Structure 1
Amino acid sequence: MSKITFGLVAAAGAATGAVATAAFYASRKDAAIPTTPTTATSTSPTSAPTPTSPFAPAPRSQPPPLAPAASAPVNPTGLFQYGFPGPISDLRPAPSLASAYDRRTRNPAWVAEHITPASLAANHADRRNSAFVEDLSIPEKFRGKLKDYARSGYDRGHQVPAADAKWSQEAMDATFALSNMCPQVGEGFNRDYWAHFEDFCRRLTTTYPSVRIVTGPLYLPRRDPVDNKWRVSYEVIGSPPNIA
């Protein structure tokens, strides 16, 4: 087809489309626009909902139900009746903290705590009565285990420190669950800089009446000296290796 013939065909097609479009909008303009009656409604004041305890078990998020199209021969979302693949964090409310657990790294994704001058002034717990424990609220195949830290070269590093939860023995015990731990270098970090940072957070209560702290691990990229590219890499400990 020559360029001239192609141009004539394109022009004719454009003209036909313009006429059809004009006719379509003209017919829509002539059609009556249906109206719906309006009704007035009255509202009455309702009482405020009763707040729930911050330590009540949080409901696990679930995927929205998806209905397959009527003509679809398959239903991929039917898998959800056996469980949602995730990722869904295990929410762990406790008297002294609230946290989300990452099953992939066997570490907390984040841990939140709340301290006040009054909570730090209380002294109703003894660290010697607490012990490191596995978090039984997490499925056995995904929880961190005491043996994973044995001879690993890393400390079981508190995210919420035990010293922040002296207001009850139960509160302090909750900080010793492995779901509140991350592997930390002991000498020079967990027993040095990290301890100083925990003390800094506590001293904030001398200025502020209420302090909220969110803690968690960061997996940061580093430049590879060989090819000058950025990569995220980290050691994995445990038996078998599963704690990042």
Structure 2
Amino acid sequence: MHRIFSSKWFISGVSLAVGAGVGGSFVAYRGGCVKSVDTFGGVLDRVPVIPIPSVDAAELVPYQHGQVVQSKSTAVMKYGFPSLSNIKTRESYVTSYDPRNRTAAWVIEQLSPETLTGTSDRKFCDFKEDDSVHEYHRATNMDYKGSGFDRGHLAAAANHKWSQKAMADTFYLSNVSPQNPHLNQNAWNNLEKYCRSLAKQYQNVFVCTGPLYLPRQESDGKMYVKYQVIGKNHVAVPTHFFKVLILEKTRGEVELRPYVMPNMPVDEKIPLERFLVPIESIERASGLLFVPNIMKRTNTLQAITAGRA
């Protein structure tokens, strides 16, 4: 069984604070293989892209009253969830909420030309508290007022123009994290636009986004995890953000592109590939798992395909 990436670099607050880009690796796709190359010029690993037989996502989603439950939110279950705590389902995304930090641990959504097209308009949307979260663990708009941080979407509003309700659901504060305004409006916005552009090139685009709270070495030589909190509810300010893209080609191949950006001003002219990192770095830093889910999905689909032969 092949791993998608083999990591020799661990993301650190030090490496990201030193330069505008992420010290680590970027990924190039050549000849059906994934080539992971660190930004200092050394090759980390080279393994095949995972082939996945073409099977409708609905085949592996739950049944209700004798019929398959089909919706955009269940479609994102295709590769499982990175974790199983506090799962919440919205119109077109699924999230795992972190009550301690008052923000999501991750949000998964599926992008397609259909979800990106429509007449929905964000001017009809307002940021709102998530009533499904206990008030002790809930962020409010007052927490962000005067904080100096934007209410940064994890599942982006522009990803869900197909439905006004779907777009409105992205304005729950449970789908928001405190984000540096310069990052939110420039480099991060460019990454979101890039994700949407990929929906025109790939059969399916799954996007998982979330916050990171990474360690940094202090003057005493020890590593500490330090992050600011804002408002009376102490909403955690991430040190970094990740975005993991699972890209399905029409031939059945899958590409995995993991990005990390520091929660600080980033020059939008820096190529996005500078922010690609080994997936294991995100898994280790976040406590989430992506690769095992993809491998499990691969084995299940192969078994289904063999059974039909």
TM bucket normalised to smaller: 0.5 to 0.7
> For 2:138, which of 138, 143, 158 is the aligned residue?
143
1:123 is aligned to 2:118: yes
Whether the aligned pair in 2 keeps the contact of 1:148 and 1:243 (CA below 8 Å) is: no
Where does residue 101 of structure 1 map in the other structure? 97
Q: C-alpha distance in 2, partners of 1:183/1:109? A: 13
Q: 1:123 to 1:210 in 2, by over 3 A?
A: same
Q: Percent identity?
A: 40
How many residues end up aligned between the 2 structures? 164
TM-score by length of 2: 0.50
Identify the structure with bigger relative contact order (alpha carbons < 8 Å, sequence gap 6+).
2
Task: Please identify, of 200-209 and 98-107, the stretch whose mean Cα deviation from structure 2 is larger.
Answer: 200-209
Q: C-alpha distance in 2, partners of 1:218/1:203? A: 25
Whether the aligned pair in 2 keeps the contact of 1:96 and 1:175 (CA below 8 Å) is: no
Alignment-mate amino acid for residue 106 of structure 1: R
Q: C-alpha distance in 1, partners of 2:166/2:119? A: 10
Where does residue 167 of structure 1 map in the other structure? 162
Alignment-mate amino acid for residue 136 of structure 1: D
Task: Please identify, of 90-99 and 193-202, the stretch whose mean Cα deviation from structure 2 is larger.
Answer: 90-99
Whether the aligned pair in 1 keeps the contact of 2:129 and 2:172 (CA below 8 Å) is: yes
Whether the aligned pair in 2 keeps the contact of 1:157 and 1:183 (CA below 8 Å) is: yes
Where does residue 240 of structure 2 map in the other structure? none
Alignment-mate amino acid for residue 92 of structure 2: S
Deviation at 1:53, TM superposition (A): 4.5
Q: C-alpha distance in 2, partners of 1:132/1:222? A: 32
Flag the structure with higher strand content.
Answer: 2
1:156 is aligned to 2:151: yes
Q: 1:100 to 1:236 in 2, by over 3 A?
A: same
Deviation at 1:108, TM superposition (A): 0.2
1:51 is aligned to 2:68: yes
Alignment-mate amino acid for residue 229 of structure 1: K
Q: SS of the counterpart of 1:202?
A: helix
> For 1:236, which of 229, 239, 264 is the aligned residue?
229
Runs of 4+ in 1 over 4 A off after TM superposition: 53-56
Q: 1:206 to 1:143 in 2, by over 3 A?
A: same
Deviations 1:100-138 (A, max 9, x none): 100011110000000112221x21211110010000111
Whether the aligned pair in 2 keeps the contact of 1:117 and 1:209 (CA below 8 Å) is: no
Whether the aligned pair in 2 keeps the contact of 1:135 and 1:143 (CA below 8 Å) is: yes
Where does residue 192 of structure 1 map in the other structure? 186
Where does residue 222 of structure 1 map in the other structure? 216
Whether the aligned pair in 1 keeps the contact of 2:107 and 2:155 (CA below 8 Å) is: yes
Alignment-mate amino acid for residue 109 of structure 2: E
The alignment yields a C-alpha RMSD, in angstroms, of 2.0
Deviations 1:192-221 (A, max 9, x none): 111000011111112102100000001111
Q: C-alpha distance in 2, partners of 1:240/1:171? A: 27
Q: C-alpha distance in 2, partners of 1:104/1:216? A: 15
Equivalence map 1:8-23=2 (5 Å): none
Where does residue 302 of structure 2 map in the other structure? none
For structure 2, list consecutive stretches of 5 or more residues without a partner in the other structure: 1-62, 75-83, 238-309
Deviation at 1:50, TM superposition (A): 3.5
Alignment-mate amino acid for residue 50 of structure 1: Q
Deviations 1:136-185 (A, max 9, x none): 11111111111110101100000011100100100000000000000000
Deviations 1:4-62 (A, max 9, x none): xxxxxxxxxxxxxxxxxxxxxxxxxxxxxxxxxxxxxxxxxxxx863335548xxxxxx
Q: SS of the counterpart of 2:101?
A: coil
Alignment-mate amino acid for residue 52 of structure 1: V
Where does residue 134 of structure 1 map in the other structure? 129
Q: C-alpha distance in 2, partners of 1:201/1:212? A: 9
Q: C-alpha distance in 1, partners of 2:217/2:179? A: 22
Whether the aligned pair in 1 keeps the contact of 2:103 and 2:235 (CA below 8 Å) is: no
